[in-house]
Chains A and B, each alone.
Chain A
Amino acid sequence: MRLCWDGAEHAGRAVELGDADPATVAAALREGSQIACPTPSAAHEHVGVIRPETSVSLRAALAAAARTRGASAPEDDEIAALEAKRGEIEAEQVDLKSARERLAAAGTTEQELRERMARLGGKAEARRELDADDDGVEADLRETAAALSEAETERIAAEQALEAARERARAERDKRERRRRLSDRIENRRRKARERLATAWYDDFCDALGRVPTPEPVSAGESPAAYESDGASAALAVAALADLRAPVVAACGRFESARAAHETLNVPVIRVQNSS
């Protein structure tokens, strides 16, 4: 890796960054800014920054580390097939809101014209009975009747448009439902795959745990569920087990130097000093 930090240039597989903030270094790593190195792996999400208070989801971290070593799980093919299936479902947004608004407006217009018709009708009848001057009322009446008929047509069209939009929205919700069920199945298979990989690689994890510095002896037990020691030790062991090309940020205060960390973990290391 090569990086430029606070005006100083560093290169190699073991870099000291003094009192840099671990989170800032990790963010720069993720974004590829200031640091030139391979893209961090999925395992970096778990053990990319190791602090004294680090806690890891051991199964997920161990499974990700196993995958950097080329491990695969029998569930992988099914997961890929399910993901492909999910990718084919393309849900789109149906604009029900404007259809509802159009219908409401059409209904209001129609209602107003109906009331106007009734008023004008009464007025015209009264004039006819009194033999009074038409005064344009008949013309008004014809005009309003035409407008009303137009408004009715618009209201019916708006109703049909809303009905059609609702049908489409329902079909879209069906798709979302199918996608959600597929996601549930995918997550379920992934969990199984993680469990399987973590169990299969647990002996290697225990070996790695024996190689990393720990404040006190750790007891790993027989399986991931039995691990009872601290998270930082587990994270170090996972990092030591993994085949990582992008650097790990060691801020755990357990190494004399970046070089020592690199030699123990056998991964590229950026060491930042940590008070604890």
Chain B
Amino acid sequence: MLLVIGYSGDARQTLRNACNAHPETAVRRFGRAVLFEETELGAFLALRAREKHGEAVQVERTEPLNEFEAVPENVRAAAAAYEEREHASTPYATFAANTDHPDPESMAGTDL
């Protein structure tokens, strides 16, 4: 899908108008961002907004994440284990200390 973010009031208005005119192409609307279908019309709407507002419009191409293909097993296991933690208020760094789970810094330093 195409993620289009507006960084000015005018840009947001343009995105709102595009969504209202082409609801079938606007997959999802957020406050200042929209997801367009990855079709020529979606691209057209994104590019038109960028033509009009320049760098106040950011366009990204997104793809779904399949964690079983792209994310190492230890990171997946850490996420699952942290969700099951006993005390909701335990920060992840504390939770991971003295376990086999990766610490936040090492994860931040490793690209997928």
Contact = CB atoms under 8 A, between A and B. Distances in A.
A199 to B, nearest CB: 33
B56 interface: no
Interface in B40-87: 64, 66-69
Interface of A is mostly: helix
A119 interface: no
B28 A103 contact: no
B96 interface: no
Nearest to A102: B68
Contact of A101 (B27, B28, B64, B68): B68
B27 A170 contact: yes
Interface-centre pick from B27, B28, B66 (highest chain A CB count, 10 A) = B66
Contact of B66 (A104, A170, A173): A104
Contacts of A166: 64
A100 interface: yes
Interface residue tally on B, bucketed by range: under 10
B43 to A, nearest CB: 19
B64 A104 contact: no
Contacts of A104: 66, 68-69
B64 A103 contact: no
Contacts of B66: 100, 103-104, 162
Interface string A85-125: 00000000000000011011101000000000000000000
Contacts of A107: 69
Interface in A221-268: none
Contact of A105 (B27, B28, B64, B68): B68
A77 B91 CA distance: 47
Interface string A167-207: 00010010001000000000000000000000000000000
A105 B69 CA distance: 8
Contacts of B67: 100
Contacts of A173: 28
A104 B66 CA distance: 8
B30 to A, nearest CB: 11
A162 B64 CA distance: 11
B76 to A, nearest CB: 10
B81 to A, nearest CB: 16
A269 to B, nearest CB: 39
Nearest to A101: B68
Given A104-B68, A104-B69, 16 more contacts: A100-B66, A100-B67, A100-B68, A100-B69, A101-B68, A103-B66, A103-B68, A103-B69, A104-B66, A105-B68, A107-B69, A162-B66, A166-B64, A170-B27, A173-B28, A177-B28
18 contacts: A100-B66, A100-B67, A100-B68, A100-B69, A101-B68, A103-B66, A103-B68, A103-B69, A104-B66, A104-B68, A104-B69, A105-B68, A107-B69, A162-B66, A166-B64, A170-B27, A173-B28, A177-B28
The 5 closest A-B pairs by CB, nearest first: A104-B68, A100-B66, A104-B69, A101-B68, A100-B68
